[in-house]
Structure 1
Amino acid sequence: MVETNDRPVFPFTAIVGQEEMKLALILNVIDPKIGGVMIMGDRGTGKSTTVRALVDLLPEIDVATNDPYNSDPTDPELMSDSVRTMILDDIEVPVSKMKIPMVDLPLGATEDRVCGTIDIEKALTEGVKAFEPGLLAKANRGILYVDEVNLLDDHLVDVLLDSAASGWNTVEREGISICHPARFILVGSGNPEEGELRPQLLDRFGMHAQIGTVKEPSLRVKIVEQRALFDENPNEFRKNYQDSQDELTTKITDARLRLQDVELDYDLRVKISQICSELDVDGLRGDIVTNRAAKALAAFEGRLKVTPKDIFTIITLCLRHRLRKDPLESIDSGYKVQEGFSQVFGYE
């Protein structure tokens, strides 16, 4: 695990371009139930830099002090058995604040390292459930980042997606079973040249951002200059962006509080489902994620009502990876989603 706080991180608000990726990450922080982001793009397009920069923006959360699972002291769905037992026994749970955590999953990680291990010997000799928490425990209520997710073993990707979807991690060994909360935002990145994820795994990611190398020479120069300035004096560079960083953090925090009050009209929900149906999207994940992302965007922009423009902004991110691939087709799937939106909403 790489601790992102040990070294200065490039500021999120200083990142030039890549708006699609930045928006997808912010919306997932506002509503983690969107289901994570898959970021596909060329090498050297700032995928890892952007994800690490996001951590800097994240608001602080209340956690049960010294709890290995970052348990929420008020929400039973996000607390470990030991914290739940304390509450049932009317014992006061000590509470402290921490930044929303981010965990890097190394490519060579074993299942034990990811899920945690049960000490069978201790369990048999002392009669206690000795559990060594893994990366999923550390990632509870935070972000789990997998770089080059398309090179990760399919079985491990399955484990990550199951935990991200259910919010729980279960480890079973020799008849002993341990279950703990593992609700996190799964962010995967990869280079399409190194192979795609299997469609059934890809479908489990809430959003799919595609990013390319910036073509415009003046923008490329700006990106190179920004990077050089940051490498020369990271702390000074970060100071210049402190105000915009604080502003964005406040905006995200307010959006998280506002989210439950955002309304999505019935006729807009019908139109979202109509687009999914006409694009022949399998299952209902596409409908659910598009509804959630549209509400998160409205909350982020300080509104309590979703507009058709909100839906247009996020629908490509939510659906492009769910379309059936035709190997002979040269049209980008994002274009097909936008075309589907235009037909249903009557926009051009």
Structure 2
Amino acid sequence: MTVTAETPPLTQKNRRRVVFPFTAIIGQDDMKLALLLNVIDPKIGGVMIMGDRGTGKSTTIRALADLLPEIDVVEGDPFNSHPDDPDLMSEEVRQKWEQEMPLNTVKHKVPMIDLPLGATEDRVCGTIDIEKALAEGIKAFEPGLLAKANRGLLYVDEVNLLDDHLVDVLLDSAASGWNTVEREGISIRHPARFVLVGSGNPEEGELRPQLLDRFGMNVEVRTVRDPELRVKIVEQRSQFDQTPQEFSQQYEEEQTKLQQTIVKAQELLSQVQMDYDLRVKVSQVCGELDVDGLRGDIVTNRAAKALAALEERTEVNVEDIRRVMPLCLRHRLRKDPLESVDSGYKVEKAIAQVFGLELDEEESSS
């Protein structure tokens, strides 16, 4: 999901609807950081956000989608095909591109697709009209939600209540960047590269460890307890509900600045380097915590590089690793489905031991 620097500054005129500004959201720093890092590098593998009801999970995700600049897409293409990148093109567009035929392009907002809990596999993946295919000899494909989410965000609220098979389908597509539909010997394949964001309430059950492990990052959001901060959040929301246009204009400059920061980070990401010794220590921490597989190592390295790019640096440092590693590993420590996800303290402790750091007082007392 690459965005371009030519996008004009955010204005009320070029918005289709007014959404609560991302930069106005108070607190929930881990959630905002994890979402930004996945936008900078979608290969991190998405975010699983667990927390109490009413903690701003959906608001934050929609605010991020509204913040992102417009992208160039091939006009009339249901897959949001990229006009220049063959890996993000549908078959039809790619054939035209290879034959050097002209492609009309338009600018669209980054797609933000909500997946309803009752969605069927056909609704998610798309369907093939077998009768039309056999009668007319053409591949009659009706695109699903994965097609619409290409180059955007796919949001699943209450993902822990979704059928495990559908979660598997989503994770497979998010990891590979492609969706394949096969019916009666007919096969259709199209790009489906998106940032998968799931949210849920732990009171309604956890995802199985095998599925949870496949999300790149895991964030726990908690209800704000400080009374003054709660009042500030309530007043802020009331102001937005009463005069959304005026409220959003107050944050227009911050929104534009963050938008430009994201663009720069995406461009800088390929130049970011991570020292060999740091990579060895990351893997050492994963080994100390008995993390199964290598996903934890890979995601931590990617997230640390994305954080360095976000802060306009080309070298990963220890602090980058310390900030992202709990979010990348805490959900990979569960071995038993009946266990709860670690708060992050075990990961912080292992990082401190391997890197020779001191634990923060807040962490050691949690």
TM bin, normalised by shorter chain, reads over 0.9
Alignment RMSD: 1.5
Task: Answer with 91-100 or 329-338: which moved more.
Answer: 329-338
Cα displacement string for residues 25-75 of structure 1 (whole angstroms, at most 9, x for unaligned residues): 000000000000000000010000000000121122221111111111222
Secondary structure (helix, strand or coil) at the match of 2:23 reads helix
Q: Which runs of 5+ in 1 are unaligned?
A: none
List aligned pairs for 1:6-45, cutoff 5 A.
7-45=17-55
Match of 2:294 in 1: 284
Which of 180, 196, 207 is the matching residue for 2:206? Answer: 196
Match of 2:189 in 1: 179
Q: Which runs of 5+ in 2 are unaligned?
A: 1-14, 359-366
Match of 1:336 in 2: 346
Which of 283, 299, 306 is the matching residue for 2:309? Answer: 299
Task: Answer with 18-27 or 323-332: which moved more.
Answer: 323-332
Cα displacement string for residues 142-179 of structure 1 (whole angstroms, at most 9, x for unaligned residues): 10000000011111101100100111101111111111
Task: Answer with 292-301 or 329-338: which moved more.
Answer: 329-338
Correspondence 1:144 to 2:154: yes
- Native 8 Å contact 2:126 2:144 kept in 1: yes
Task: Answer with 98-107 or 23-32: which moved more.
Answer: 98-107
Distance 1:221 1:23, change over 3 A: same
Correspondence 1:237 to 2:247: yes
TM-score for both structures, normalised by structure 2: 0.92
Distance 1:173 1:12, change over 3 A: same
Q: Matches of 1:326 and 1:153 in 2, distance apart?
A: 20
Match of 1:60 in 2: 70
Cα displacement string for residues 299-322 of structure 1 (whole angstroms, at most 9, x for unaligned residues): 000111101000001000000000
- Native 8 Å contact 1:323 1:333 kept in 2: no
Displacement of 1:77 in angstroms is 1.3
Percent identity for Structure 1 against Structure 2? 73
Letter in 1 for 2:279: R
- Native 8 Å contact 2:334 2:340 kept in 1: no
List aligned pairs for 1:1-348, cutoff 5 A.
7-325=17-335, 332-348=342-358
Q: Matches of 2:339 and 2:159 in 1, distance apart?
A: 25
Distance 1:89 1:330, change over 3 A: closer
Q: Matches of 1:330 and 1:200 in 2, distance apart?
A: 14
Displacement of 1:259 in angstroms is 0.5
Secondary structure (helix, strand or coil) at the match of 1:59 reads coil
Q: Matches of 1:228 and 1:326 in 2, distance apart?
A: 43
Displacement of 1:332 in angstroms is 3.8
Distance 1:330 1:127, change over 3 A: closer
Q: Which stretches of structure 1, 4 residues or more, deviate above 4 A after TM superposition?
A: 325-331
TM-score for both structures, normalised by structure 1: 0.96
